[in-house]
Chain A
Amino acid sequence: MVSFSVKDLADERVREELSSGLRKRLVVTVGSHLRGSNWRMSVRQFACDATLDLWDDDYLVRIGNQSERLKTLDQVLNRCLSVEGLFAGEPKSYEPQKGKEIYFAVKAEFNPISKKQCSELIRPTSGDDPVGPITVNIVRRRICRAERTIEFRSEYVRVPE
């Protein structure tokens, strides 16, 4: 289990965006790696959709299929960016690495544009043009990537024998 906080992701601009009344997405990804390797043994990801409800003046936070209402932005950031006791992968993923040193890599992303909307807005025109689909795909990746991202690594820890 890992615990960490990526609240540093929420700079002034992110806070402003979260208070705009539009739905924003915060995605946190945790991966475990062997020391000296980029290969990921296990990965865990969760996405948090946060919307300031202009009608009720509170925040609607949705994680997976569950949603809850929170009064303040700090509560939202705590809920979405502070992780307590997260299972970073199944135990069987660590079985072969017993006694070896590993580290956890955390990546937190803030993206105000949903994938669905991005695909709908940036799409190739119909026709036989071969350049269009390839180009649009590249442009879409550039335009729709996360607006702000922070990443960090944990200290090395040894997988228990």
Chain B
Amino acid sequence: MSRFERKILFAIGLSVFLALGGSIFIAQGALREVYRVGVNERFGAELVHGVEARRGQLMALRSGSEQVADAVGWAVEAEMTERRNVSRLESLLQELLERYELVHGIRVVDGAGQEVASVSRDTDPSGASMRTTTRDRDVDAGGTKLRIAVEVAVPEVYFERLQEAGEASEVYSRLQRQSASVSDVYVWVFGIMVFLVIVVAFLIGAIVSRRVTRRVTALAEASRQVGSGDLTVTLPTGAADEVAELTQAFNDMVRDLRDSRTRIEYLQRISAWQDFARRLAHEIKNPLTPIQLAAQEMDETYDGANEAYRKKLENARAIIEEEVATLRRLVGEFSAFAKLPRADLSPSDLCDLMQSVQASVPAILEDVGHGTPAPVEVQVGCATEPIRVRMDPMMLKRGVDNILRNAIQAVYEAHPSGGGRVSVRAYATDAAGFIEVRDNGPGVSKENWDRVFDPYYTSKAEGTGLGLAIVKKVVLEHGGEVRLDRAPEGGARFRIELPLMEPR
């Protein structure tokens, strides 16, 4: 794990811990306060009062049932004492049953246990469960011993409510007694939950941050590689964020460095070749005139009569003069290459350049055709809008002419009796201006696409291999690039790319 990653994780952990740890502290106070509001002595006392009230209600009902039993006993005693009429007892019991709601049944038996009279209430249609008990009263009715059994009943729900109230009061009392520990339980559970959230948040943060830190670490490693001279490094940009922008900028920087280094290396190589050409031209040029003069003098001063020898001298002079002429041409080209000036850039329009190229086409055709225009169709075109670049028009035209001459020669050799086509055009994209020269000649094999720009590389019998090297030097001095590939029509395609003065 890198130091940067550790710092990021520490920052995530600290912020998560502070935020959630603070929330535990606040929640602890809030929970205790809420608990104190909900569970306090006053409510507990009221619950206890409720239980006592329900118990008192039951006791009052019990007392009432005793009184009802007494009343029934007295009424039966009075009836039997005054009238001694057993037949009327049944209706009296019915009246008593209707009068006292608590009473569910009355049964009167004599001293021998024989039932004298009885009444009972119908079952409650609501089906409510009732708790019943019997209150016995012994009476002496004018000498007759009677036992009156009064069955009283109260709804069972009264007892159930007392039970529920009692248990609720007990639970509340315990909650009150253990208020501190109960609220602590809430805080602990909350704390554990928060801790789990912290762990999850930290893990997510670590995973997310790792994606960022990994890219930053890769950038640092790539920077070290670039520092040690490796300019082949390219990093994936990944998601669209600032790190991606930084990575893209890094990639652009490395690519620019790579291009610059390639350009500098090429220009250094060209410079060395120019130096070599200058020396070579100097060393070859000086003896040419004495050689030619010596050959002329040998030929002209011979006054002998040997005709065969004279013929030999004339042939030798002709050969020497021809080879000297060839060497002079080579020396001229070497010298021109050695003296190639640096490009003097100024704002110009590529379309103007195309017009001057158009003007030189007939001369090139005639030169390639050795006096008669070569049968090659040449099209020169440009975009409708000006393409503003900084360039040295003369140098660049010389370069384009070189490419154009090569293209015409190639298609002329491939199609000597006509059918050869060469197209030259200038166009622009958003960031760069282009000059494209393409033909329908034999093209160049892919493995030579880069080599053709090396000095003294040529595939022609009489070539010096300097033309395309000069083109590349000129283009590089313009801050541009020249590339060769295959044209859609099958021949070669040269593309010169130049930076626009004002990107579109």
Chain A residues in the interface with B (C-beta under 8 A): 20-23, 54-56, 112-114, 117-118, 121-122, 130-131, 134-135, 138-139, 142-144
Contacts and interface: CB of A to CB of B under 8 A. Distances in A.
Contacts of A144: 171
Given A22-B162, A22-B163, A54-B55, A142 B182 contact: yes
A22 B182 contact: no
Given A21-B55, A22-B166, A135-B186, A118 B133 contact: no
B154 interface: yes
Interface residues of B, number: 26
B193 A131 contact: yes
- Mostly, the B contact residues are helix
Contacts of B154: 55
A54 B163 contact: no
A54 B62 CA distance: 8
Contacts of B59: 54
Contacts of B131: 55
B31 to A, nearest CB: 10
Contacts of A113: 167, 170-171, 174
A22 B167 contact: yes
B171 A118 contact: yes
9 contacts: A54-B159, A55-B159, A112-B166, A117-B164, A131-B189, A134-B189, A135-B185, A139-B182, A143-B175
B178 A142 contact: yes
B306 interface: no
B20 to A, nearest CB: 14
A142 B205 CA distance: 38
B168 interface: yes
Contacts of B164: 117
Contacts of A118: 167, 171
Most-contacted residue by chain B among A21, A122, A130, A144 (CB, 10 A): A21
B17 interface: no
- Mostly, the A contact residues are loop
B102 to A, nearest CB: 11
Nearest to A57: B62
Interface of B: 55, 58-59, 62, 131, 133, 154, 159, 162-164, 166-168, 170-171, 174-175, 178, 181-182, 185-186, 189-190, 193
Contact of A121 (B55, B168, B189): B168
Most-contacted residue by chain A among B55, B162, B170, B175 (CB, 10 A): B170
Contact of B167 (A114, A134, A135): A114
B218 to A, nearest CB: 40
Contacts of A134: 189
A144 B170 CA distance: 10
Contact of B162 (A21, A130, A138): A21
Contacts of A21: 55, 58, 162, 166
Given A113-B171, A142-B182, A144-B171, A20 B189 contact: no
A148 to B, nearest CB: 13
Nearest to B185: A138
Contacts of B170: 112-113
B167 A117 contact: yes
Given A112-B170, A131-B193, A56 B133 contact: yes
Given A20-B166, A55-B133, A143-B175, 9 more contacts: A22-B166, A55-B154, A112-B167, A113-B170, A117-B168, A131-B190, A131-B193, A142-B182, A143-B178
Nearest to A134: B189
A142 B167 contact: no
Contacts of A121: 167-168, 171
B444 to A, nearest CB: 73
A57 B168 CA distance: 24
A121 B133 CA distance: 32
A121 B38 CA distance: 14
A113 B189 CA distance: 25
A1 B168 CA distance: 39
Contacts of A22: 162-163, 166-167
Contact of B193 (A23, A114, A130, A138): A130
B496 to A, nearest CB: 69
8 shortest A-B CB distances, which residue pairs?
A22-B166, A117-B167, A135-B189, A143-B174, A121-B171, A138-B185, A54-B58, A113-B167
Contacts of B166: 20-22, 112
A121 B171 CA distance: 8
A65 B232 CA distance: 90
A20 B166 CA distance: 9
A122 B193 contact: no
A139 B55 CA distance: 29
